[in-house]
Structure 1
């Protein structure tokens, strides 16, 4: 899809970012798996690069500065006013871990957790507007929250982001402009893991991608299977960062 020239509508997932303790290893793994190249990004939170597909920026990778912080992907939502949205997080029972702060001239961000502890980001784009999920292989395809309290999460995100939430197959969905942009589902398979937003990347062939991930040192957590959005698999990178890959239904 072409580069964005307008800020995405409030409530749209607009960016995903990996915090890891092995940035060179993450670059090698995801570069080989998803066809990414890399360019420098803002450094307010430490060393950080932006992944590219051709000339398009699709994701960020950074070094966690917190000892013992889990390796994980974070979904960011577009907001018109990061300071106001951050205040709404607190008013709705969530917590704010970082910000709001300025990421050089790229935009303004905050990192927060919802009422169940799932981490997410808020992004007020300026020079860097983010990327809307699209069908192209290698880019973000879908964001889905797994949580033990799906109803509470739906109320929280609807209020913080100011968007409607509607029932969807297997759970509910945040709607922007009348279309689903992210899912919320009761995560029966969490099995002791904390609630989390799961990042899905589009791929041309889920089965081949899962096999390649293992060759590159990753793991298959859930084998390729049909889902309402297409054929999907849940994987982990060599440092334990969970993500999913999705082959859209024909």
Structure 2
């Protein structure tokens, strides 16, 4: 997890294709959601492209971190953080998604001068975005509290969808050697960029297969307490792992994410 965050794409260069380069959240209550994440992570907000409705970009120290958009009142979609995977040609990537059994639900379309995007789902139904950068290169800061630290597909069986992502994005896979832990790390040019975690019947029935975003925090236990004070919910209590201390929570609208204090 830790080694994935010195990614290409920071300091003004484009993210390598297949690299998670952005995370975005569509919500009903924009103001309340900005208040929650602003208090939790210290984010400040600037307007972004408005193609899909009102949209702001969260910033830390003037560097862009994540996006939050407004869902139309009549759209009752799941409230969920969505990672965007970098592409040099979003139209070609979207076509490959379709050929490999996935679905393209939005786009490809231009986001003003920022770039070109599509929103897709893999054959199991997990939703992800595809981003072709123009003016907007994606997340501009990492390895500090309040920034995305890792993205992980939570699914029933890792083997079932790994081939899809390898074909669409050119990942190399590295299974985790464990008899009781179904996990595959996805690599780009030898560098880990994301994971696929097969959890079998432990997959939440109300969510189905989904991508999970991990945000870096300085102190997981303190951050969890802050989440609760701000009206969020604890889903999995803090636990120590080989990658660091982790807790899984939901914001007041129900968007699930994990917080991690990584082992540096």
TM-score, L = length of structure 1: 0.96
Structure 2 Cα separation of the partners of residues 68 and 61 of structure 1: 16
Asked whether the equivalents of residues 144 and 183 of structure 1 are also in contact (C-alpha less than 8 Å), the reply is: yes
Q: Does 1:173 align with 2:173?
A: no
Q: Secondary structure in 2 aligned to 1:128? A: coil
Partner of 2:108: 100
Structure 1 Cα separation of the partners of residues 173 and 14 of structure 2: 21
Match of 1:27 among 13, 29, 34: 34
Structure 1 Cα separation of the partners of residues 151 and 141 of structure 2: 9
Match of 1:152 among 146, 160, 164: 160
Asked whether the equivalents of residues 133 and 141 of structure 1 are also in contact (C-alpha less than 8 Å), the reply is: no
Q: Over the residues paired in the alignment, what is the CA RMSD in angstroms?
A: 1.5
Which 4+ runs in 1 deviate beyond 6 A?
none
**By how many angstroms is 1:132 displaced?**
6.6
Structure 1 unaligned regions, length at least 5: none
**By how many angstroms is 1:203 displaced?**
0.3
Match of 1:223 among 237, 255, 258: 237
Structure 1 Cα separation of the partners of residues 32 and 199 of structure 2: 29
Query: Structure 1 residues 92 and 132, CA, compared in 2 at 3 Å: closer, same or farther?
Result: farther
Structure 1 Cα separation of the partners of residues 102 and 194 of structure 2: 19
Q: Does 1:44 align with 2:51?
A: yes
**By how many angstroms is 1:18 displaced?**
0.5
Partner of 2:63: 56
Q: Secondary structure in 2 aligned to 1:42? A: coil
Query: Structure 1 residues 133 and 174, CA, compared in 2 at 3 Å: closer, same or farther?
Result: farther
Structure 1 residues 74-89: aligned runs within 5 Å: 74-89=82-97
**By how many angstroms is 1:183 displaced?**
0.5
Structure 1 residues 188-227: aligned runs within 5 Å: 188=200, 189-192=202-205, 193-227=207-241
Q: Does 1:109 align with 2:117?
A: yes
Per-residue CA shift, 1:112-141, capped at 9, x if unaligned? Answer: 000000000000001001127732110000
**By how many angstroms is 1:91 displaced?**
0.3
Structure 2 Cα separation of the partners of residues 168 and 68 of structure 1: 37
Per-residue CA shift, 1:138-164, capped at 9, x if unaligned? Answer: 000000000113112111111111221
**By how many angstroms is 1:78 displaced?**
0.5
Q: Does 1:233 align with 2:247?
A: yes
Structure 2 unaligned regions, length at least 5: 1-5
Q: How many residues align?
A: 250
Q: Secondary structure in 2 aligned to 1:45? A: coil
Structure 1 Cα separation of the partners of residues 211 and 242 of structure 2: 18
Q: Secondary structure in 1 aligned to 2:14? A: coil
Partner of 2:260: 246
Structure 2 Cα separation of the partners of residues 67 and 8 of structure 1: 31
Structure 1 Cα separation of the partners of residues 219 and 125 of structure 2: 33
Structure 1 Cα separation of the partners of residues 185 and 141 of structure 2: 15
